[in-house]
Amino acid sequence: MLSLLLLVVGCAPDPVGEGLLGEGWANPFPSQHHVVDGQVSLLLDELPVGGPTPLPVERLRARAGFSPAQTAVVRLDGVNAAALPTWRAPTPGEGGVQLWDLTAGAPLPVMAELDANDPSDRPGLLIRPLTTLTPGHQIAVVVTTEAAPRPAVVDALLGRRAPEGAEEAAALTQATFTQLAALGVSNDTIAVAWDFPVSAGDTLLRDALVYATPTGEFSFDEVREVGDVPPRTYRAAEGELLVPDLLVDDLWLNLDAAGGLSPTGEVGAHLYVHIPESVRDAPEGTVPVMIFGHGIFSEPSAYLDDEEDKNGVIRLADELGVILIATRWRGLTTPDIAGALAVANDFGRLPSLPDRLVQGQVNTRALAELALEGALFDDPVFLGESGQSLPLRGRLVYYGISLGGIEGAVFVAGGGPVSAAVLHVGGGTWSTMLERSSNWPIFESLLVEVVEDPWDRQVLFALSQLWWDPADPMSSATSLTAGPPVLLQESLGDEQVPNLTTRSLARAAGLRQQEPVVEAVWGLDTIITPTRPGFSAYMQYDPERPLPPDTNQPAPVTDAHTIPRVWAEHRETVSAFVARYTEGSLVSACEELPCSASNSAE
């Protein structure tokens, strides 16, 4: 049980028990109470939490604060759900729940919801930022009396004389209220407020990318051609490239006591090459090369060996006339499904998923570098039917679907050497995506057996974002548009990657919304198409499927996630955005109307 996870603090218990509200260290979580001497400080009791593997809380000591995508959780009496801000229409600085950047002195967009998985009369209140939180800044969470009555313990902590044994807790609470008052938030309207620091979430990723240099060694152990490949395919090849291995036992990043990262040796990373039929006789050195990012619990072959081409990737490559190269996003690929199920049975193993995703980032960057330096393209696999070397050297673009859109955003924001990137149905904030995804039920059923209390699960999810951070685009969102042009695509009602997480990423990255729009997104300016090259944007498709319920529960399967990628207009949009000499060109592929199921050619 999570009650076994104890807070290391330098003060005595609060007047009515542990934590700000006297109900345990995690109510609320996170807060300044969870930081000691400038470090996130949590201590695990000798008994396990969520399974046999103890949560690796010692890894958090390298952080001075919490996640740039941090969900806050609190339990209160009498919460008025009608007063909670929604993700579709946030009201920064107003309403029943507010989020304030105390360092910048500004309100932030936020949503709040009661845990729909908790049938009790006191479910957890989940407070989610709708943009990235700035590292180094102090963030205040405010629940006003519109949303809940003030707990008696808050009045006690705000009294003239702090309750005995709660002097430090009282001082922290009073300081938060004082800062909020200076920003115009009347203390009389506050039911409860607390604050927490934010630290960079991409430090481990950047440390890992230092090692993302290919050894130069690669091989193909399977090469197939016409007659043994799907329609529209000229050649397919699979093999591996040798890259630095940053994992211990293929599970955990190799970290020292101070959080330093170092390789454990070398490892073979999966390598897939797809050459479309349309380029087999192309002139030498003229065929653009695109890195392809696959979806969750999948791999490149699931798309590129599919005779029916259900995801349209083969046709996309053929019509664009591009060679596809790919590797696997380690941690969430087809071979990793068993490992992910093991995490659901043993939450202490959760960091193995983002750790392997970081290795996947290293593998993808190494693949890009191997392609750019030319050694990869010297292989006979890349020869056309007349013996000509097909690839256009010195230039790469990126196209990722779902997980490939999520991790593709991390790849680009981390300096991935591409000229343009299309991130199809991607998003950010892993800890928020999970529960809402239609992929979640099988994992949820296992987790509920291990962690029965809904409140405990929500604290675990909030805590888990700290481990997800290196593989979460929200950690590096402000760098997403610092390099090549990026097109982030949303499918309205997406049941796998919730729209709220796509829009939070768009907002954090400062993207403009491409017109014509299906739904105007709060906080985004618009951009009229067509445009000249060089623009980044967020755009919407409408598959015209029922929208999922607005709760933190798995969405029903509607195929909204997959439908738009086979549209001819989607291929036209991608083609314009990544085409040679026109990178970042936005087109209105569906003319005056948004692209939708009733306004598409397929």
Task: Give tens-digit pLDDT for 31-51.
Answer: 998 888 888 887 554 333 677
CA dist., res. 579 & res. 397, Å (int) = 9
For tokens 């604050």, name the residue. 195
- Lookup: tokens for 209: 């990318």
Greater confidence (111 vs 59) lies with 111
Query: Pairing relation of β-strands 72-74 and 125-129?
Result: antiparallel
386-398 pLDDT, tens digit per residue, is 999 999 999 999 9
- Which of 378-392, 396-410, 575-589 has the least mean pLDDT? 575-589
% pLDDT > 90, the chain: 81
Residue 559 domain-assigned (yes or no): no
For helices 337-345 and 352-372, angle between their N-to-C axes, nearest 10 degrees? 150
297-311 mean pLDDT: 97
Provide the number of structural domains found in the chain. Answer: 2
96 and 182 together in one domain: yes
pLDDT digit string, tens, across residues 150-205: 999 999 999 888 777 778 788 889 999 999 999 999 999 999 999 999 999 999 99
Token couple for 130? 């709708």
User: Do 150 and 232 share a domain, yes or no?
Assistant: no
β-bridge partners, 291: 325, 398
Q: What is the pLDDT of residue 17?
A: 36
What pLDDT does residue 54 have? Answer: 85
pLDDT value at position 492? 98
**Spatial separation of the C-alpha atoms in residues 317 and 376, rounded to whole Å:** 19
Beta strands 138-144 and 97-101 are: antiparallel
The answer to which of 28-42, 212-226, 245-259 has the lowest mean pLDDT is 28-42
pLDDT of the residue at 11:
35
pLDDT at residue 3 above 60?
A: no
Q: What type of residue sits at position 148?
A: A
Q: Binning pLDDT at 50, 70 and 90, where does residue 76 land?
A: very high
- Please give the torsion angle defined by the CA atoms of residues 27, 31, 34 and 36, in that order, rounded to the nearest 10 degrees: -150
Query: CA nearest 54: which of 296, 262, 346?
Result: 346
Please state, in angstroms and rounded to a whole number, the distance separating the CA atoms of residues 294 and 521. 27
What pLDDT was estimated at residue 44? 53
DSSP for 79-109, written as a single string = --GGGS--SSS--TT-SSEEEEETTTTEEE-
Asked whether 521 and 444 are in contact (CB, 8 A), the reply is no
In-domain check, residue 124: yes
Same domain, 214 and 192: no
User: Which tokens sit at 450?
Assistant: 């291990």
pLDDT tops 50 at residue 1 = no
Give the mean model confidence (pLDDT) for residues 216-231: 96
Q: What is the pLDDT of residue 43?
A: 57
Is 547 a member of any domain? no
Per the domain annotation, does 543 fall within a domain? Answer: no
CA distance 568 to 583: 19
Residues 147 and 263 in one domain: no
Q: Are residues 324 and 225 in the same domain?
A: yes
Quote the percentage of the chain above a pLDDT of 70: 96
pLDDT over threshold 70, residue 16: no
Average pLDDT, the chain: 92
State yes or no: cis peptide before 244, omega within 30 of 0.
Answer: no
In a domain, 37, yes or no: yes
- pLDDT, tens only, 456-514: 999 999 999 999 999 999 999 999 999 999 999 999 999 999 999 999 999 999 999 99
To 5 degrees, how large is the angle CA 61–CA 346–CA 453?
90
Q: For residues 258-283, b (16+ Cβ closer than 10 Å) or e, as one string?
A: ebebebeeebebbbbbbbbbbbbebe
Query: Of 197, 213, 239, which closes a domain?
Result: 197
Same domain, 159 and 273: no
Tokens representing 256 are 């020292």
- H helices of 420-475, in order, are 430-436, 441-450, 454-468
Position 586 in a domain: no
Residues 214 and 173 in one domain: no
- Whether 249 is covered by a domain: the verdict is yes
Decide if 97 contacts 142 (C-beta within 8 A).
Answer: yes
pLDDT tier for residue 13 given thresholds of 50, 70 and 90: very low
Identify the weakest region by mean pLDDT among 268-272, 400-404, 545-549, 580-584.
Answer: 580-584
Which of residues 197, 213, 244 is at a domain's end? Answer: 197
Q: How far apart are the first and last CA of the chain?
A: 51
pLDDT computed for residue 493 by the predictor: 98
Same domain, 216 and 189: no
The mean per-residue pLDDT over the stretch 75-91 comes to 96
3-class SS of residue 231: coil
Q: Are residues 358 and 231 in the same domain?
A: yes
Longest dimension (CA), the chain: 87
Domain boundary among 357, 374, 409: 409
In a shared domain, residues 167 and 42: yes
Establish if 25 belongs to a structural domain.
yes
Using pLDDT thresholds of 50, 70 and 90, give the confidence band for residue 18: low
Question: What pLDDT, in 10s, does the model give residues 318-333?
Answer: 999 999 999 999 999 9
Residue 8 has pLDDT above 90, yes or no: no
Q: Which range marks the domain in which residue 109 is found?
A: 2-197
Q: What is the pLDDT confidence band of residue 85, given thresholds at 50, 70 and 90?
A: very high
H/E stretch holding 223 reads: strand 218-225
Q: Cβ atoms within 10 A of the Cβ of 519, count? A: 14
Q: Identify the pLDDT of residue 55.
A: 86
pLDDT for 176: 96
Residue among 388, 369, 402, 360 nearest 502 (CA): 402
The dihedral formed by the CA atoms of 322, 328, 332 and 338, expressed in degrees to the nearest 10? 130
Are 176 and 250 within one domain? Answer: no
Pairing type for strands 39-40 and 190-197 reads unpaired
Residue among 120, 103, 19 at smallest CA distance from 454: 120
Structure tokens at 477: 């969102």
Distances (CA, A) of 67 to 50, 422, 470, 557: 21, 26, 10, 30
pLDDT band at 56 (very low <50, low <70, confident <90, very high): confident
- Give yes or no: residues 231 and 128 share one domain: no
Distance CA(352)–CA(453), nearest Å, equals 24
